[in-house]
Structure 1
Amino acid sequence: MMQMPLKVNAMAFPVLFLIATLSPHQNKQAQTQSHLTHQAVTCAVENQAFKDGETITYKLYYNWNFVWLSAGEVQFKVKELDDQFHFSAMGTTYKSYEWFFKVRDYYESYVDKKTLLPEVSVRDVEEGKYRLYDRVTFDQDKGKAFSLRGKSKETAEMAKYDIDPCMHDVLSMVYFLRNVDITNYKKGDALPLKVFMDKESWPLKMTYAGKEGDVKVKGLGRFNTIRVSPEVIAGDIFDDDTEMNIWVTDDQNRLPLLIESPLSVGSVKAVLKDYKNLRHDLRAEVK
């Protein structure tokens, strides 16, 4: 009997897009160098895309041996605080998928309202037998990150790391990108980003791939979209030539609708299932 490719675990739930660019099981030595871009590094953006109470849910699928399996769901929430936004993401596998692999991942991030840069980031991960608790406190002004990390909160140990300016975590990156002004972007232009994760800083880029109309999302309708392609890290999960694609609404919400990516084994996609409390009317929908 063919062995199941269980190493595809971490791709799916931590923000795919996130989620999606990084995995706790990947080898940084396999990282490709980020290309030069035409866009300057952006350290702060004003939020115009989301509001308090926004909740978006995605259904996740994994394709193995030409069969699409309904793997689970991930739900993102926004809560507005006095001078911060609190972002959270909870990813869980369906019971019907857990014979293959079980995931219970929780991510949260407290970000500065004025910059959308993270101040505190928490990952509480359960993926098969893998466990991780990691609470990172960012001092953006002094270029430091303090990571309380271990297999559990009770056994976690503190370590200090140097970080570059404008450093993101996975969740802050998602909401930050929704607010980047791409008015003057041309196809192929890229935005450089830096993400701190797993005790290291990762230089990445998000490439603008242009506008695409009439993209269908099952159960929700058809939409005018903008397609972007985030850089991924080659390793256990992604091959060297992997291209991930994300379609977001071509309106002020910049709502991610669909994420697709091949993996080293199989492929994965996340499809928007439900949304509520958007900041703007969903004008990208094709009537």
Structure 2
Amino acid sequence: MNKYLLALLLLLSVSRTFSQDAAKTDQVAFQAGEQITYKLKYGFFTAAEAVIRTENSTQKFDGHPALHIVADAKTAGTFDVFYKVRNRYETFIDPKTLLPYYYQEDRHESSYKHTDKVTFDHKEHKISADKGSFPFTGNVFDFLSAYYYARNLDVSHLKIGEKLELRYFLEDGIHSMTITFAGREKVKCALGTFNCLKFNPTIIPGRIFRKNSMLYLWVTDDANRIPIKAHVELVVGSLVMDLSDAKGLKYPLNPIKK
């Protein structure tokens, strides 16, 4: 289990329907106190777990209040024995605009360690990180703030095959991902069966993914807009992300009744 697979766990949670043209809804889909948990499975084995929680922050940015979002990812079972991972990702966002003020990560992956601290200056359109300064235009996010911002986008008029763009900052620059809307499906996870929106984010082939690997992501088609499942093909086998717990939601989960 290397660092790219753990990053994928967070990426699957973040890769929502985001584009510069998509409009944000007036109603925020989450609240302080929310906590969601995912399990990442490789075949029959649980490879990793991620817990993402939202809380009010006592820290202010230029006098403005902030929401503090924390994601902890760790390996599990046999994977924890052979390649122990303990990663933490944090972001502080404006509770109204949902844009990020500050992001930091602390990754411990076997003998590898990495930290990064990122400040977003939306007035000057500049990102300051450990590896330098990066100018930007439009809205750019980190992993976590992208996830929470995108949960509030109006995707009610999406048509199958339409493509959206995600722009996020990671380590050494601003990156973009194309996401295709693939329709609506009923999908089962540990918490029940839900009506979902289905998406197909683009994958870059490499050491982990095959040239024709496919990544599919299912998000609840309700006011919560929580990703409940993802499936990605690897060079050997596949990974499945599954929602295993959800607490403190702003809106009740609405599984399909049998």
TM-score, normalising length from structure 2? 0.87
Aligned equivalents of 1:44, 1:119: Cα separation in 2: 18
Contact 1:167 1:195 in 2 (8 A): yes
Per the TM alignment, residue 280 of structure 1 is displaced from its structure 2 partner at its CA by 0.7
Residue-by-residue CA offset, 1:2-29 (whole Å, 9 max, x unaligned): xxxxxx522433361414789xxxxxxx
Structure 1 residues 45 and 117, CA gap change in structure 2 (3 angstroms): farther
Q: What pairs with 1:160-239 in structure 2 (closer than 5 Å)?
A: 160-213=133-186, 215-218=187-190, 220-239=191-210
**Alignment-derived partner of residue 18 in structure 1:** 11
Give TM-score scaled by structure 1 length.
0.79
Partners of 2:234 and 2:49 in 1: CA distance: 19
- Contact 1:251/1:284 (<8 A) preserved: no
Distance 1:148 1:126, change over 3 A: same
* Change in CA separation of 1:189 and 1:168 when aligned onto 2, cut-off 3 Å: same
Instruction: Tell me how far 1:190 sits from its aligned partner.
Output: 2.1
- 1:230 offset after TM fit, Å? 1.9
The question of 1:282 aligning with 2:229 is answered no
- Cα distance 1:240–1:139, how it changes in 2: closer, same or farther (>3 A)? farther
**Alpha-carbon distance between aligned partners in 1 of 2:20 and 2:145, rounded to the nearest angstrom:** 19
Superposition RMSD on alpha carbons, in Å? Answer: 2.4
Matches within 5 A, 1:1-287: 8-14=1-7, 16-19=9-12, 40-42=20-22, 46=26, 48-63=28-43, 68-81=44-57, 83-148=65-130, 159-213=132-186, 215-218=187-190, 220-287=191-258
Q: Counterparts of 1:207 and 1:175 in 2: how far apart (Å)?
A: 19
Measure the CA separation in 2 of the matches of 1:21 and 1:129.
Answer: 26
Work out whether residues 14 and 105 of structure 1, in 8 Å CA contact, stay in contact via their aligned partners in 2. Answer: no
- Displacement of 1:139: 0.9
Q: Tell me if the contact between 1:41 and 1:192 (Cα under 8 Å) persists in the aligned partners.
A: no
Q: Give, in angstroms, the shift of residue 221 of structure 1.
A: 1.9
SS at match of 1:49: coil
Paired residue secondary structure (2:145): helix
Letter in 1 for 2:199: V
Question: How many angstroms apart in 2 are the aligned matches of 1:240 and 1:266?
Answer: 14
- Alpha-carbon displacement from aligned partner over 1:134-154 (angstroms, at most 9, x marks no partner): 0100112222111136xxxxx
Deviations 1:213-242 (A, max 9, x none): 2x2213x22221111122233333323332
Query: Can you list the C-alpha shifts for 1:105-157, whole angstroms capped at 9, x where unaligned?
Result: 100111122222211111111112221100100112222111136xxxxxxxx
How many Å separate the matches in 2 of 1:263 and 1:164?
Answer: 34
Give 5+ residue unaligned stretches, structure 1: 1-7, 23-38, 150-158
Partner amino acid, structure 2, of 1:138: F
**Identity within the alignment, %:** 34
Q: Which moved more, 1:133-142 or 1:110-119?
A: 110-119
C-alpha distance 260-11 of structure 1, shift in aligned 2 (>3 A): farther
CA deviations 1:82-115 (Å, max 9, x no partner) are 6322111001112532233211110011112222
Quote the Cα distance in structure 2 between the aligned partners of 1:88 and 1:21: 13
- For the Cα contact (< 8 Å) 1:225–1:247, is it kept in 2? yes
User: Number of aligned pairs?
Assistant: 250
Q: What CA distance in whole angstroms lies between the structure 2 residues aligned with 1:281 and 1:161?
A: 40
Indicate if the aligned counterparts of 1:20 and 1:232 stay in contact, CA closer than 8 A.
Answer: no
> What do residues 250-286 of structure 1 show as CA deviations (whole Å, max 9, x unaligned)?
2111111111111233321111111111111222433
Aligned 8 A contact 2:24 2:152 in 1: no
